[in-house]
Amino acid sequence: MPSYIRKEPRMRQPKSKVLLRLGTYLMRHKGMVFAALMLTIASNLLALVGPTLSGYAIDAIEPGKGAVIFEQVFYYCFLMAVFYAASSVLSYILSALMIYLSQKIVYQMRKEVFEKLADMPVNYFDTHQTGDILSRISYDIDTVNASLSNDLLQICTSVITVVGSFIMMVRLSPPLVTIFFVTVPASILFTRYRTKKVRPLFHKRSEKLGELNGFTEEIISGHKTTKAYHQEATMQSRFDQKNEEAVTAFYNADYYGSITGPSVNFINNISLSLVSVFGALLYLFSKISLGDISSFVLYSRKFSGPINEAANILSELQSACSAADRVFQLLDEPSEKADAADAIVLDHVRGDVKMENIRFGYTPDKIIIPDLNMVAPAGSTVAIVGHTGAGKTTLINLLMRFYDPQGGVISVDGHDIQHVTRKSLRLSYAMVLQDTWLFNGTIFDNIAYGKPGATMEEVTAAAKAAKIDSYIRKLPDGYQTYLSEDGVNISQGQKQLLTIARAMLLDAKMLILDEATSNVDTRTEIQIQAAMQELMKGKTCFIIAHRLSTIQHADNILVVDGGNIVEQGTHAQLMAKGGYYANLYQSQFH
């Protein structure tokens, strides 16, 4: 199996393309998007009436004489309270709607990612850290969710507020509006400049977090090994390095992203100062009333405020775009190659397997199987032995079409598996791997995993054949005992027996056992072998084993070295030959 992790840089999509792609998710919910737009417009228009009413209230006070028309002041103040209250209610409804909408989008995005992972070839998982994949499903999509529910709403609100405020300011005093012809372009140019500088930092932040999660997942999975070899300090040092890189990436992104907001706020405050100065001059020449100056100042704050807020949320948008880009990179990864147009469904499988002139490498520049031939007649038991890295598991990957060879033909019952549907091919095999896998659920569900609708009698029979039935019945809830994650509440040997029972339940004509008894004791192993001899009758079986004592009755033993079959025959024939196999066998018993 390849052990490398892919490190080549991936091309980032332009931010505009990422945003447009996110927009396609919004357009799947046109009704809610339209309702949100209407609520946004209504809420902001109601809020925009407030400064005008404030100006009317101020104009009801006559300067100098101190005459106040209280009826008008109270009237306009009451209307302000009504409009602002209505705006707040609509804003609350809008926020609730956006949260619901963002959850719908995130649900769909996670669903697509998970479905994509199910369709991806095995080599993707062999070459990518599990923690990094999980980071994309969790952290990156959560970041997109926060942006959709908060930033998107803020941007829509800002656009309406800016446009509405600008119109109202033009109505009040066109000369004062000219001040923003200088400050607004300055804000926009500065924001665009900072955006180009900051976006790569947020992409790096997401990458470093993915690396940290991947490393953490590896360390937690191998915690016992770390303890056994007393390497806590070493792993802590490596974690500190990864943690430092992630923290530095977060700091750089947030620090340089946070510069934009205060800088734009400074430019906007300059505009407010200019409005105050020139507004006072216009008032002295009776070109504007105090009420209109007050309204203009309030509108100028509403006008410049959203620009400042947009700059403040820019860093969050950068983070969201980088996170979405990582998610879209995963979605754009090539799926497992589609079945050939002329692919047939394997039916009534006998189990006659052949490998002819197979040439294969996990990477094109490193061929590990130069030329391999193998014949497994229907109903025979083929054992595959060899030292670690000799290519034993690779043969299984090829048989199951987890990988395709660069040359040669693999056939089942005379059919080239390149022209057989993957589903029917893989369902023709039952498999027990060295690394057991159990999911959260009952023992019954775990055994019946590969055969939906299996009866209790069938599950029980499989458990008895795997010598695990008596253990299950001793449990308080028997077959309904709930297993925690990956079966951590039972021993490793019992987990292996459950996976063997799962394979026994399948009505498959071909069986793959990859170190299937490596985690059980010798006594249990002997019991399993006896039961499996009966079970394996009439099936083509491929057994990978380091314990050569378990394969002495195999019909054919393939000795693999360097990707080639260097010897083959029965146990007796190979021992009599006195070659590679005989030396390997004797080394285990002497």
Give per-residue pLDDT as tens, 511-522.
888 766 665 666
| Amino acid identity, position 280 | A
557 SS3 class: strand
- Which residue has better confidence, 354 or 145? 354
What does the block give as tokens for 464?
A: 């008895």
pLDDT above 70 for 312: no
pLDDT at 579: 85
Comparing CA positions, the residue from 577, 587, 578 lying closest to residue 547 is 587
Tell me the HSE value of 417 on the side-chain side, using a 13 A CA sphere: 30
Confidence band (pLDDT; 50, 70, 90) for 418?
Answer: very high
Q: What is the mean pLDDT of residues 224-243?
A: 76
Comparing CA positions, the residue from 540, 457, 473, 464 lying closest to residue 504 is 464
pLDDT above 80 for 261: no
Give the range among 448-452, 537-541, 545-549 with minimum mean pLDDT.
545-549
pLDDT above 70 for 439: yes
DSSP 513: E
Rounded-to-10 torsion of CA 207, 212, 215, 219? -160
pLDDT at 11: 56
Give the range among 356-360, 501-505, 535-539 with minimum mean pLDDT.
535-539
Q: What is the mean pLDDT of residues 227-248?
A: 80
- Pair type for strands 482-483 and 441-442: antiparallel
Q: What is the mean pLDDT of residues 78-96?
A: 88
pLDDT at 529: 67
pLDDT above 90 for 411: yes
Give the range among 70-74, 493-497, 528-532 with minimum mean pLDDT.
528-532
- State whether the Cα torsion 80-82-86-91 is positive or negative: positive
pLDDT at 4: 45
Confidence band (pLDDT; 50, 70, 90) for 40?
Answer: confident
- Which residue has better confidence, 499 or 284? 499
Percent of the chain with pLDDT over 70: 86
Q: What is the mean pLDDT of residues 531-550?
A: 76
pLDDT above 90 for 412: yes
pLDDT above 50 for 7: no
Confidence band (pLDDT; 50, 70, 90) for 485?
Answer: low
* Highest-pLDDT range among 232-241, 510-519, 581-590: 232-241
Percent of the chain with pLDDT over 90: 5
pLDDT above 90 for 409: yes
DSSP 449: G
pLDDT above 80 for 441: yes
118 SS3 class: helix
- Which residue has better confidence, 576 or 266? 576
495 to 24, 336, 463: CA distances (angstroms): 45, 30, 12
Confidence band (pLDDT; 50, 70, 90) for 107?
Answer: confident
Q: What is the mean pLDDT of residues 270-279?
A: 76
559 SS3 class: strand
What does the block give as tokens for 273?
A: 């100062």
d(CA 481, CA 470): 14
pLDDT above 50 for 318: yes
The strand pairing partners of 55, in sequence order, are none
The overall average pLDDT reported for the chain is 80
- Which residue has better confidence, 262 or 411? 411
pLDDT at 13: 67
Give the range among 49-53, 108-112, 441-445 with minimum mean pLDDT.
49-53
pLDDT at 225: 65
pLDDT at 419: 93
Q: Answer for the pair 54, 90: CB distance below 8 angstroms, yes or no.
A: no
Which secondary-structure segment (H or E) carries 464?
A: helix 456-465
pLDDT above 70 for 64: no
Chain segment 152-207, per-residue pLDDT in tens: 767 777 778 788 878 887 887 888 877 777 777 777 777 777 777 777 787 788 77
- For helices 232-258 and 180-221, give the axis angle rounded to 10 degrees: 170
